[in-house]
Amino acid sequence: MANVIYNSYKKGQLDGGIDLVNHTIKVMLVTDVYSPDIDAHDFLDDITNEVVGTGYTAGGKEIENRQTSQDNANDRGEFSGNNVTWTSSSITSRYAILYKSTGVAATSPVIGCLDFGGNKTSTFGDFAIAWHADGIINNN
């Protein structure tokens, strides 16, 4: 589950500018040099230190089979989608950045940042993000 939700995304949700199901939502990997800034980072061009390595394509991957749901037992909404894997990759990342892709970094709003809690590495293997059972994002 995302550890940081950028303030610009919160406003975008209120304005109706980001549709998690129907827009292109991607996840990109960045190194431990990146420092999330919940206030100042609005668009993808604010995000620095994207990983480079075998099996990784700049801009990351689209999250497939996205859906939103209402969880009445826990009084929240949830956003979920398929886990994401970079196969046969050799990369090291500390953070995963969720964003709405417009194809242009300056107009692609950032949504959230998942902190792996330390560097996560793959060496000619799978680099996988398994989303939390409570969703990629939930709000209560």
| Ordered DSSP codes for 72-85 | TTTTEEEEE---EE
SS (H, E, C) 100-118: ECCCCHHHCEEEEEEEEEE
Per-residue model confidence as pLDDT tens for the chain (140 residues)? 568 899 999 888 888 889 999 999 999 999 999 999 999 999 999 999 999 999 999 999 999 999 999 989 988 889 999 999 999 999 999 999 999 999 999 999 999 999 999 999 999 999 999 998 888 988 76
| pLDDT of 113 | 96
Residue ranges covered by each domain of the chain: 4-139
Measure the CA–CA gap between 61 and 105, rounded to whole angstroms: 14
Q: Is 64 exposed, middle or buried (0-12, 13-18, 19+ CB in 10 A)?
A: exposed
Sign of the alpha-carbon torsion through 99, 109, 29, 115: negative
Which residues does residue 90 pair with via DSSP β-bridges, in sequence order?
A: 54
